[in-house]
A and B are shown apart, each in its own frame.
Chain A
Amino acid sequence: MTDLAHIRNFSIVAHIDHGKSTLADRLIQLTGTVAERDMKEQLLDAMDIERERGITIKANTVRIEYPAKDGETYVLNLIDTPGHVDFAYEVSRSMQAVEGSLLVVDATQGVEAQTLANVYAAIDADHEIVPVLNKIDLPAADCERVAEQIEDVIGIDASDAVRISAKTGLGIPDVLEAIVQRLPAPKGQRDAPLKAMLVDSYYDSYLGVVVIIRVIDGVIKKGDRIKMMKTGGAYPVDRLGVFRPQMEDIKELGPGEIGFLTASIKQVRDTRVGDTITHEKKPCAQALPGFKPAQPVVFCGLFPVDSAEFEDLRDSIEKLALNDASFSYEMETSAALGFGFRCGFLGLLHLEVIRDRIEREYDIDLITTAPSVIYQLHMRDGTVRELHNPADMPDLTHVDHIEEPRIKATILVPDEYLGDVLKLCQDRRGIQMDLTYAGSRAMVVYDLPLNEVVFDFYDRLKSVTKGYASFDYQMIGYRQDTLVKMQILVNDEPVDALSVMVHRDRAEQRGRAMCEKLKELIPRHMFKIPIQAAIGGRVVARETISAMRKDVTAKCYGGDVTRKKKLLEKQKAGKKKMRQFGKVEIPQQAFINALKMDD
């Protein structure tokens, strides 16, 4: 156990690609925490998807031992948090477990929207913040300007920002010194009853649920009987340890320390982030305030392409849910797609991550239906219903009005693209709340309907600004608007999985766009296929896929039989990846791609 004065707990705040994971790697490397031969890029990102996309999804911790210039050895605990807006809530929770943050800003890029959101979370958690300017080895680095920007936009002193290149290792020792010298040591009482915060938990197929904890007061030892104060569960501690970043057993964890425990907990759902862990026999007097569980904001249907794989899909979703309490699911039946699940996610990235994992780790081809937000239906009888799925929209005669979730979106963008960004936001029914400048970059704040953002807003934003804009948002509540359910009919039959809620004024445009997209996405058949968008019984847009005109092998003689037959059989098998609606085969990706707008 380490005494409080020799502990520093911190997190790293950064925009995606500003070098957070690389810096973490360097800190681990320089302190010899991981042997050189075991180094690989982005040590803390455990999942393939994290490594591939260069994002962090789950919070990770690592304990580093650092002999400082003052001759003392310090224990540094880093909690690495997700940077993406979908996981903003997790970030704010993890921040509560540490006393300080490194604010990493790319010296060639400056402050971005995600930086802002995360640094405000750090400020809210009363963190001491050490600004770090990264990528100073690049010719485009402009430390003075970026430091000024940090002061202007965020309002913290950046005069003594640490200047580094995480890539080359330049300045890393200064970061370690700054952590020791400038971040506060944790506070806590060794003699007090155990009070520890449940920071996060995950499922490991060998160990069961692994719980990451931060001890506030008291001491926890292997074999102790512990109690979760909120959920009431009591368990014996089987194993106690720290991450370096591999698991390493430790005898005890005292005040200020961060580590993990396992305690024969069956599923992640039995643990609640923010819960207080104490001793069963001698509990602490007052629990930590705790957190609200993260609420899904985006819903979509997941259906197996091959309906025979429904049970496999159920199995995979249940397993994933064990490790991710923020992901919800319930069975859904679609006339078009058969049996599947309506799933709730924290955002689109979260949706994509879960979908990718099901397809990859469980080898199930999925049809993902249009993402939807939660609408509040105010019924004529005074009750309020939540609508997660446009297909469940009740008869309008019973509905008094509909409310939709709105967000406050913050976008930072170079001046030259401002016009395009404003147009995009206006097109998406946005209301401008603020427009300020920081140097040559504009910061716009918009009040936007979540349903206009949830699908492809970020893609569009990236495309109209050539990737120079950054974006973050937070929910601000519900507001009434004229929303209608739009149905898509393919070959005169409604395909429920393509139904969407749209604003009345945008319905024609959206309907036209969806019909045009579907015309591209659905291959020609032997007959012509009408595609219509309709509101109630009224058709608002229509396209026709003309019949296949020619598809025949020109030459087919004795030597071609084997090859051509194999080819036709392969094509036929490929059609199994499509879903049959009446006589029309719709490719699986059409359900999502039909919504992508090229506006």
Chain B
Amino acid sequence: MHIVVCIKQVPDSAQIRVHPVTNTIMRQGVPAIINPYDLFAIEAALALKDQLGGKVTVLTMGPPQAEPALRKALSYGCDEAVLVTDKLFAGADTLATSYVLASAIKTLHQETPVDLVFTGKQTIDGDTAQVGPGVAKRLELELLTYVSRIVSVDQAANSIRVERRAEGGVQVLETRLPALITMLEGSNEIRFGSAPDMFRAARAEVCVWDRNAAGIEDIKKVGLKGSPTIVSRVFVPSPRAQKAQQIEFDAANPEAATQTLLDKVLVEIPKVKKQLDQTRDNKRASRSAGERHE
């Protein structure tokens, strides 16, 4: 079984500050960590490897400084690490990123066929949750998002069964391999890195791929050029000027309390009153129209 886990190195949001003037993230001095959601993907992949054997390749696109994140992943027990890095990749949005990752996975697949790709549900810095599905679409992989549990993998039937958290319940889904899974937070707990794995991680060679090595076919699809997303404005929402009000009412008299509350709302928010009046008028009109039909 060959499993690829896509991870991203992100600034530790617990220690991040926003520049008061430019509203951009001040990354200086903020430690970089593996995107916390990706840890669930790594653990899910390692647990499958423990169960079925095979290898786990951890993959990231990023600047050369992202290498420690890959070594960290190796120290948990991942077998190989690939850093896809190229000056041309800078400024990539989710479309361009998924293109690069998909190309790299295709390249990995040529060497050892890839059965499963894991990603976190989203990153804590971008929060888009688009890269995983983007990769799946480009590689025509079956896509399972928000997965909370891997139920079973049937290698003979080449299929996987998972649980997916959905509104109002849990879906049990089964699909064929190869597939891409985005893992939900809280679905597992990342293991402790062992001392031998830490030594191995420190000595291991991280494959560093530029655009050629990663098998990028169309350089117009990478980096800023390949990114149609435009950030038009970044701003901090201004806090509301109004303060909350306390409305006194008599609990023994709910009707009067409702009346007081409604009056208050209608005075404070004229829009609501207008809408209510409108609805009432419409109802009247339709009623009188109905009356006419009779």
- Are A and B physically bound partners? no
Residues of B within 8 A of A (CB): none
